[in-house]
Structure 1
Amino acid sequence: MKKAIIIVLSIAAFTSCNSIQKKATIKGNKLKKESKMENLKTIAQEAQEAFFKEYSSEGIKKYFTTDYIQHNPHVPTGIAPVLGFLPVLKKANTTYTTHRILQDGEFIILHNSYHNAEALGGKEVVAFDVWRMQDGKAAEHWDNITTKVEQTASGRSQVDGVTDITDVNKTAANKEIVKNFVNDVLFGKAPEKITNYVSTEEYHQHNPMVKDGLDGLGEAIAYLTSQNNMFNYQKLHKVLGEGNFVLTMSEGEWNGKPQAFYDLFRLKDNKIVEHWDVIQEIPAEMAHTNGKF
């Protein structure tokens, strides 16, 4: 009888230890994964620096996957074109400033200005760069680029404004608000709902052609409509965000040509209170077959 009790207790002890070890392993793996995810912003910044500050081929090999997928219409896919681009950037002394960096899971979003950037389309350009990270490296890249505008309708630049990330616990809710805004207002399904999404008290505008506030937005819409040249949003490809910032990547038409619309929104108290954007024409022919989105 005593022997049986000892066996039972031994089995119980073994099972308990095994369970504890299993839980510890799961917890350890989870912490490693969370730590790795938290580090992706740092890796993205180091990759950006290797490209546009150090012009380092070793840095590119360290931070970019060999089968790097490119969606910039003018750059072939793969790591080789990235390496081949370095001498051009170095000769021009192309540099950058990151104004905002956000993370949504494996995606890193950078709101950048590029200087001496003729190779990117102008002396000074503004861009959104979106990277999909894989195993601690940049594996895929999307961007939208436009030239810097010195005088804007609102008096704000294309990149200034709030940078602090807050309300991280509201990321999913804010993404849903912006998604509904795009569908209802920008897609024109229910434009009368605009005040459900955009604050009537505070709306800072960074699009160069639009003034602050809902009145400024209404004025711009009225003018573009009178010219039969209103932005025509047709497809929403991605909604990415962190806390009070949400980026949408959409496809449509403007000026009679296919366009990519990247819109960054800042939210406060469940309303959109600030907006930045980059609009770029989608060329008929690209340097790869990956598409713009």
Structure 2
Amino acid sequence: MNSKLATATNLYMEGIRDGNAKDAITKYTGRRYTQHSTGVRNGVEGFIEFFEPFLVRCPIRDIRVIRSIVDGQYVFLQVFQDINNGDAKWVTTDLFDTDSNDKIIEHWDVISAYQDAKNLNTDQISGETEITDLDATEDNKELVREFLCDVMVLGQQDKRHAYLSDGQVIVHCAPDVGSLESYIGTYDQVFKIIGQGNFVVSYSRVLENGQEIARFDIFRLEQGKIKELWVNQEPVPPKNEWVNGGKF
């Protein structure tokens, strides 16, 4: 396993699944740990302060990494969590920045409830996971960047078919998330785009009916077109509820 990917995965597995929050956050972070999960303070102390009580409240934790992407200094994880035998189920998408020693120095996340899907083919976490076509990474990132700019930011609906395989895309999302078309033109800013082979991930600010939303999109591409999409999004809370610099 790539060393940076191992660091991010181990923080999850050792720190949260196995309940060793203090040891893991100390072991796997660098000289700083800047946090963008708005309820968690910056630094090692903030992680411990948040997760040690969580571990007491939630003694049964089934945590599985579904998809992972490494692009230079960045690592992305899509994670499924089943807490206390189904009391809560979450899909968590996390982006980590790492330093030259492969330690985590910054973290962004989006968390949403996992909802049982009527159609398993479009379930929030189902679908392809294998990374292929590594030589196409940069081309795929550029295509996704152009799609997001032209269609999702600028709202040019007539251009969307140029980017989608057969003019369509398989979308995996929670049942209460609207169709891809319903979000065209609502993207206010795309903050990060990373990729590995046939998978590309973007992290964006979306404005929907006056509500600011943090959204991760995971794209799978085939032959230079977008074939499949996983969406994970959450409302950004009011600024007076933040304990750090915010989601972005």
Query: Shorter-chain TM-score category?
Result: 0.7 to 0.9
Q: Is the 8 A contact 1:132 1:138 kept in 2?
A: yes
Please list every run of 5 or more consecutive structure 2 residues that lacks an aligned counterpart in the other structure. Answer: none
Q: Is the 8 A contact 2:117 2:175 kept in 1?
A: no
Equivalent residue in structure 1 for 2:7, among 36, 43, 64:
43
Once the 2 structures are TM-superposed, how far is the Cα of residue 127 of structure 1 from its aligned partner? Answer: 1.4
Q: Are 1:110 and 2:77 an aligned pair?
A: yes
Match of 2:52 in 1: 87
Q: Aligned partners of 2:73, 2:118: CA distance in 1, in Å? A: 34
Equivalent residue in structure 2 for 1:170, among 136, 153, 164:
136
Match of 2:193 in 1: 239
Bigger proportion of residues as strand: 2
Q: Is the 8 A contact 1:66 1:78 kept in 2?
A: no
Once the 2 structures are TM-superposed, how far is the Cα of residue 143 of structure 1 from its aligned partner? Answer: 0.4
CA spacing shift, 1:248–1:125, aligned 2, 3 Å: same
Count how many residue pairs are aligned between Structure 1 and Structure 2.
Answer: 241
Equivalent position amino acid for 1:193 in 2: K
Once the 2 structures are TM-superposed, how far is the Cα of residue 70 of structure 1 from its aligned partner? Answer: 0.1
Q: Is the 8 A contact 1:153 1:210 kept in 2?
A: no
Equivalent position amino acid for 1:290 in 2: G
Equivalent position amino acid for 1:175 in 2: K
Q: Is the 8 A contact 1:171 1:244 kept in 2?
A: yes
Q: Deviations over 1:118-155 (max 9, x none)?
A: xxxx8111111111111221111000111111135675
After TM superposition, what 4+ stretches of structure 1 lie above 4 angstroms from structure 2?
A: 152-155
Q: Aligned partners of 1:55, 1:188: CA distance in 2, in Å? A: 45
Bigger proportion of residues as helix: 1
Match of 1:283 in 2: 237
Q: Aligned partners of 1:234, 1:82: CA distance in 2, in Å? A: 30
Q: Are 1:151 and 2:117 an aligned pair?
A: yes
Q: Are 1:62 and 2:31 an aligned pair?
A: no
Once the 2 structures are TM-superposed, how far is the Cα of residue 189 of structure 1 from its aligned partner? Answer: 4.2
Q: Aligned partners of 1:146, 1:177: CA distance in 2, in Å? A: 27
Equivalent position amino acid for 1:288 in 2: V
Instruction: Tell me the TM-score normalised to structure 2 length.
Output: 0.88
Q: Is the 8 A contact 1:65 1:139 kept in 2?
A: yes
Q: Is the 8 A contact 2:213 2:234 kept in 1?
A: yes
Equivalent position amino acid for 1:51 in 2: G
Listed as ranges, the matches of 1:247-266 within 5 Å are 247-266=201-220
* Rg comparison, structure with higher value: 1
Once the 2 structures are TM-superposed, how far is the Cα of residue 87 of structure 1 from its aligned partner? Answer: 2.6
Match of 2:160 in 1: 194
Q: Deviations over 1:81-108 (max 9, x none)?
A: 2122333232202341100111010100
Root-mean-square deviation (Å): 2.5
Q: Aligned partners of 2:151, 2:173: CA distance in 1, in Å? A: 17
Q: Aligned partners of 2:184, 2:152: CA distance in 1, in Å? A: 10
CA spacing shift, 1:194–1:154, aligned 2, 3 Å: farther
Instruction: Tell me the TM-score normalised to structure 1 length.
Output: 0.75
Please list every run of 5 or more consecutive structure 1 residues that lacks an aligned counterpart in the other structure. Answer: 1-36
Equivalent residue in structure 1 for 2:103, among 137, 140, 160:
137
Secondary structure at 1:200's aligned position in 2?
helix
CA spacing shift, 1:252–1:66, aligned 2, 3 Å: same
Once the 2 structures are TM-superposed, how far is the Cα of residue 289 of structure 1 from its aligned partner? Answer: 4.1
Once the 2 structures are TM-superposed, how far is the Cα of residue 38 of structure 1 from its aligned partner? Answer: 3.5
Match of 2:63 in 1: 96
Secondary structure at 1:250's aligned position in 2?
strand
Once the 2 structures are TM-superposed, how far is the Cα of residue 230 of structure 1 from its aligned partner? Answer: 6.9
